[in-house]
Amino acid sequence: MKKVIISLFLVLWGTAVFCTTWTITNSGFAFSPASVTINLGDDVNFVLESMHNAVEVSQTTWNANGNTSLSGGFSVPFGGGSVSSALLTAGTHWYVCYPHASLGMKGIIIVSNSTGITENQSQINISVYPNPASNFLIVKANPGLLNLPYFITDQAGRQVLSGRLNSEVNFIEISQLEKGIYLFQAAGLKGRSLKVIKN
């Protein structure tokens, strides 16, 4: 019995000590960062202007820039607040700012169920070219990344484009972007942002 109690204490202590609280803010009508990958057990704190909130929605609603809340999903009041790890189960959580979803104010929280097993890097292969580019980017992705959302952010961290990797070769129009440096990131590929120069 003593061993069980000690083991339980160590598990609870490890969870409390090694959990992280992530912060998501807004920059105008965009969440920053627009996509975050966290570990199971981590909390998320939204620090928002008083006219913004965050409501979890279904992927279908998110793709349509809708604002119908997901039954059982999290909801953060106007001005921000915390989402406890109890509401952030393993998988992808799609959320929007309720009054500004139609303007594309939305984000993704990907909760990884970390197993301690090293990820097979050969399954993650993505390239973006030409770089610099004027009108189009070509994004090549291996089949394991198909249907994954992507985001392009400016240097201030504002999301300027988003979409989905629909095939192994994707064409993304960037002619509407101003000249400058941007970051391309596919959701879930933690730390794998690619710098893109628009000329």
Least confident window among 5-19, 44-58, 139-153, 167-181: 5-19
CATH architecture of 121-198: Sandwich (2.60)
Instruction: Tell me if domain 2-112 and domain 121-198 are identical in fold.
Output: yes
pLDDT at 191 over 80: no
Q: Residue ranges of the domains in the chain?
A: 2-112, 121-198
Tell me the DSSP string of 90-143. Answer: SEEEEEE-GGGGGGT-EEEEEEE---SPPP-GGG--EEEESSSBSSEEEEEE-G
Between 192 and 31, the more confident residue is 31
Mean of the pLDDT values across residues 40-47? Answer: 90
Residue with tokens 């952010």: 153
Pick 114 or 13 by higher pLDDT. 114
In 3-state terms the chain splits into helix, strand, coil percentages (rounded to 5) of 20, 40, 40
Confirm whether pTM is higher than 0.75.
no
Q: Which CATH superfamily, name and number, covers 2-112? A: Cupredoxins -  blue copper proteins (2.60.40.420)
Two structure tokens written together for 37? 């990958």
> What pLDDT does 107 receive?
92
pLDDT exceeds cutoff 60 at 11: no
Q: How far apart are CA 199 and CA 197, in angstroms?
A: 6
Give the per-residue pLDDT at 189. 67
Task: Quick: pLDDT tens for 62-107.
Answer: 989 999 999 989 999 999 999 988 888 888 899 999 999 999 999 9
More confident position, 196 or 7: 196
Q: What is the pLDDT of residue 27?
A: 86
The residue with greater pLDDT, 188 or 135, is 135
Rounded mean pLDDT, 55-62: 93
pLDDT of residue 48 exceeding 50: yes
